[in-house]
């Protein structure tokens, strides 16, 4: 890796227009040249976060990948327009996978949006 930051964003305006399979294809295109095991790891995390957004939120869904080449880390985040939650976040099976596969993860709730993010760190 060389030093610097790279960001790619996918915005899904309508939940019926972009399926999880299409998101997976988009992800593979943007990760062309990455090691297969890293692509698989990132794909599982992205899939869980995107599925969660579709299940618990509403469009637009904003999927962002931010590569920090200095730290050899990738931050994956998915933002959705969410209903106001009254109960605290509890990790279910999908978020337990995200927890196990990522260095750290979290939830940011702002006004009408919820962003769930996960940081993945890669070794050379």
Q: Which residue intervals of 8-117 are DSSP H helices?
A: 20-30, 36-56, 93-101
**DSSP structure class, residue 107:** E
pLDDT tens for each residue of the chain, 124 residues long: 344 458 888 888 886 678 889 999 999 999 999 999 999 999 999 999 999 898 888 899 999 999 988 888 999 999 999 766 556 656 678 888 999 999 999 999 888 899 999 999 987 6
Q: Contact 105/64 with Cβ under 8 angstroms?
A: no
Contacts of 39 (CB under 8 A, 6+ apart): 27, 28, 31
pTM of the predicted model, to two decimals? 0.86
Q: In the numeric block, which tokens belong to residue 62?
A: 């904003």
Q: Contact 27/19 with Cβ under 8 angstroms?
A: no
């Amino acid at each position: 890796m060389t030093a610097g930051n790279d960001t790619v964003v996918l915005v899904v305006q309508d939940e019926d227009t972009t399926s999880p399979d299409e998101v997976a294809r988009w992800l593979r295109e943007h990760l062309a040249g990455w090691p297969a095991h890293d692509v698989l790891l990132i794909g599982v995390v992205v899939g869980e976060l995107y599925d969660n957004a579709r299940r618990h939120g509403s469009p637009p869904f904003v999927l962002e990948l931010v590569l920090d080449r200095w730290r050899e880390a990738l931050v994956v985040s998915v933002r959705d327009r969410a209903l106001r939650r009254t109960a605290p976040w509890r990790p279910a099976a999908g978020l337990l996978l995200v927890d196990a596969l990522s260095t750290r993860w979290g939830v940011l709730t702002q006004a009408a949006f919820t962003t769930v993010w996960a940081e993945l760190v890669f070794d050379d």
